[in-house]
Amino acid sequence: MCPIEVKIKCAKGISLPRYITEGSAGMDLSVISDGVIKKGEIKLLPTGIYMEIPEGYEAQIRPRSGLALKYGVTVLNSPGTIDSDYRGEIGVILANFGKDDFEYKKGDRIAQIVFNRVVKVNFVVVYELAETERGDGGFGHSGR
């Protein structure tokens, strides 16, 4: 697999996101300050990271499973999409659904970032769609 080139600018003293293991799909993002997310609170956390993602790609911000399992803390708009034309700071919206306040320290890994290709579509307006066995069966149609 050939990696894509993503230009990155980091605030002073911030480490680059990195893959923790060779098989990791995502790179961990860290927070740049100390703070607390009270139980039931939603907070935007700064990462100090700015990127220039190549056209035809996006970055997705995803939760870290350990934070979700241990503390009930997750990325609220998961996955959060970062478009290739965005040049602002990458922020992470965390929600604390846990039983206790969640304290974080500068440098704590709070989310992961995954890069994907983007497929553009052209809509073709029609008056009927092809029928399938499923049809319009939606939420819960296949049972439990």
Residue 129 maps to a domain: no
State which residues form the domain around 56: 7-117
| pTM for the predicted model, two decimal places | 0.87
Q: Going residue by residue through the chain (144 aa), what tens digit of pLDDT does each one get?
A: 678 999 999 988 888 999 999 999 999 999 999 999 999 999 999 999 999 999 999 999 999 999 999 999 999 999 999 999 999 999 999 999 999 999 999 999 999 999 999 999 999 999 999 998 888 877 776 666
Total domains in the fold of the chain: 1
Residue 38: CATH number of its domain: 2.70.40.10
SS (H, E, C) the chain: CCCCCCEEEECCCCCCCECCCCCCCCEEEECCCCEEECCCCEEEEEEEEEEECCCCEEEEEECCHHHHHHHCEEECCCCEEECCCCCCEEEEEEEECCCCCEEECCCCEEEEEEEEECCCCCCCCCCCCCCCCCCCCCCCCCCC
Residue 124 maps to a domain: no
